[in-house]
Structure 1
Amino acid sequence: MSRPTFIDVAGRRTRVRVDGDPGAPPILLVHGIGRSMEDWAPQYERLAQSYRTIALDVPGFGFSERTREAITLAVLARGVADTLDTLGETRPVHVVGNSLGGAIAQQLLADQPERVASLALINSAGFGSEVTLLLRMLTMPVLGAMSMRRPTRMSAVLFERTIHANKAVATKERIDHAFAVGSQPGNGAALRETALELGTPRGVKPQWRRDLAAAVTRTPRPTLIMWGSQDRILPAHHIDEAMRVYPHAEVHLLNGVGHMPQIECPERFADLLLPFLVRAND
């Protein structure tokens, strides 16, 4: 198994990890807002047995530098595509996105459909207005700016415990890593900028969701939708809208699971994802 490394992507220092046979079908793992590739760590070993497994820290998050442009969903998707280019991966990839990463995956399909072999949308953004107060606070004029000025370990504890239905998953190691990510220079500003672009104090903005839903219907791909029933970031009833946008999708509601099934129930997650990928390759 490989370790994370840094590469230059369009002049930006970008953190990536690549595992598996370079000739195997490629799979791309895209994390959510304010997060990092470590959200996929429990999946690397199984995926790499059959796939060239690519994970990255999205521009402006984790330990990757942000783009020079203002952050939009299209800019984030282009940053992901540029990373694939730099890695020499020109084949269509199976894109697996969690939370904001699911919206980025859909935007990549909308903007560069030739690059996407299939979609796996895991507790994905883009299907409803409701979102945790912890993210809505970032869009509030005074409170949002104050909260990003100096990240605290307590905020990392709170967010990790909100993400997972099973609080035992919010280990000291995960909390320490979340605090380290949040403390990176510029990450707080990128987090707030993204929140302001996509949301308001009342919730997720509707226009970009409508535009994205209309765009992805033009180029359908095999699609897997998973959602944890106990998601406290993006509520599980958003799965209904996801099924409307992707009527052909394979859908799984995971009882008793929170916002990150790939961490909270890693074996169950892989047992659903891997057969889907086999079918999508046919």
Structure 2
Amino acid sequence: MSSTESTEAAVVEPTPTVPVAGASADGEALRTVSLPGWSLTVRSRPPRAAGLAPALFVHGLGGSSQNWSALMGLLADEVDAAAVDLPGFGFSPPPDDGDYSVNGHARAVVALLESEGRGPVHLVGNSLGGTVATRIAALRPDLVRTLTLVSPALPELPPQRTAWPTALASVPGLPRLYARATRDWSVERRTQALLSLCYGDPSRISAQEFAADAEEYERRLALPYFWDAMVRSTRGLVNAYTLGGQHSLWRQAERVLAPTLLVYGGRDKLVSFRMARRAAKAFRDARLLSIPDGGHVSMMEHPHLVARAFRDLLAEDHQADAAPLNRS
């Protein structure tokens, strides 16, 4: 395996975790996991029964583990759920080596899974997190039991027009111009612009949710590495789009063995709905959930629909495990 595509992390000993100071959703806990090269914040919700299968949720570009709170709450009786803040996002500081590539993020997730002995997990990813999850599932099938991808950021060339501003963030100099042009924007205006980009119907967001989103956005804007993490992660994603051969993300999607659930929104402004058909053909064991009025973050906008499809995926997985026993 070429070093350019390897997501294998150095073997690490389980590391004690410590609580994280900061707000968390009701019933959730935040902790920091210290690993060689990374300090990762993990959000978890106590499962409603002992012995449930582990699941790990990976957020998208500019997101955080909090993006999964609604879905994790709905699935607490189904899986032992945890969501990670990727390096430089949420409450996780930047990676020690400054590597924000898709491979860099994937190595951090692999290191977390190996350090906690949680694999194989039901791996769930959104947007950039979906790209990271796809690469892990292709290269480390031993760590992935099922794969769920919500609007995965797989190569779409050219991207739809509404996604161009995000892609252009990878161009040197443009983020600085954008920051200068928007320096007088209030945090409320910034939050509204972000939610309008990510939701199919922003009116679904309550005033309380909007206020919480704005408060969190303001906290993260004050971080000295906020823009660096955003820009370099965007650049890493764009660079991954250009890889060919065995390193191609679509080629790696074809290598995924795990049963896969694909979730696409008809009003997604960042990942075109037309990519759903290509993805369904690429993943060898795929099932598709289409949400016509959904946007880019269906697990937040339509958590009940996503939870129901996820339950169906797990039911199929359980039936597959039981099949050899039934035949005997």
1:165 to 190, 197, 200: 200
SS in 2 for 1:6: strand
SS at match of 1:252: strand
2:29 aligns to what SS in structure 1? coil
Coordinate RMSD, CA, aligned: 2.3
CA distance in 1, matches of 2:37, 2:103: 18
> Are residue 138 (structure 1) and residue 190 (structure 2) matched?
no
Correspondences of 1:128-277 after superposition (within 5 Å): 128-129=156-157, 130=159, 132-147=163-178, 153=187, 154-170=189-205, 171-199=210-238, 205-207=241-243, 211-277=248-314
1:13 aligns with 2:39: yes
- Structure 1 segments unaligned to the other structure (5+ residues): none
Moved over 4 A (4+): 148-152
Alignment check: 8 A CA contact 1:110 1:212 kept: no
Q: Deviations over 1:178-207 (max 9, x none)?
A: 33334322121011011122228xxx8332
CA distance in 2, matches of 1:216, 1:271: 24
**Correspondence 1:77 to 2:113:** no
Equivalent residues of 1:4, 1:16 under 8 A apart: yes
Q: Is the 8 A contact 1:127 1:242 kept in 2?
A: no
Farther-moved stretch of structure 1 (178-187 vs 55-64): 178-187
Unaligned stretches of 5+ residues in structure 2: 1-26, 322-328
- Deviation by residue 1:230-271 (Cα, 9 ceiling, x = unmatched): 001111111122122114310121111111111111112211
Deviations 1:153-201 (A, max 9, x none): 233321111111111244232233233334322121011011122228x
Report Cα offsets for 1:43-95 as digits up to 9, x if no partner: 12221212110111011211102222322111101101212233x23430011
Q: Do the aligned partners of residues 90 and 40 (structure 1) sit closer, same or farther apart at CA in structure 2, a change above 3 Å counting?
A: closer
C-alpha contact (below 8 Å) 1:15/1:63 kept by paired residues: yes
Aligned residues: 278
TM-score, normalised with respect to structure 1? 0.89
Q: What secondary structure sits across from 1:199 in the alignment?
A: helix
CA pair 45-105 structure 1, distance change in 2 beyond 3 A: same
Q: 2:122 aligns with which of 81, 94, 97?
A: 94
| Percent identity (aligned) | 23
Determine which structure has more spread, i.e. the larger CA radius of gyration. 2
- 1:116 equivalent to 2:153? Answer no
Q: Do the aligned residues in 2 keep the contact of 1:103 with 1:125 (CA within 8 Å)? A: yes
SS of equivalent residue, structure 2 residue 75: helix
Residue range with higher mean Cα deviation, 7-16 or 99-108: 7-16
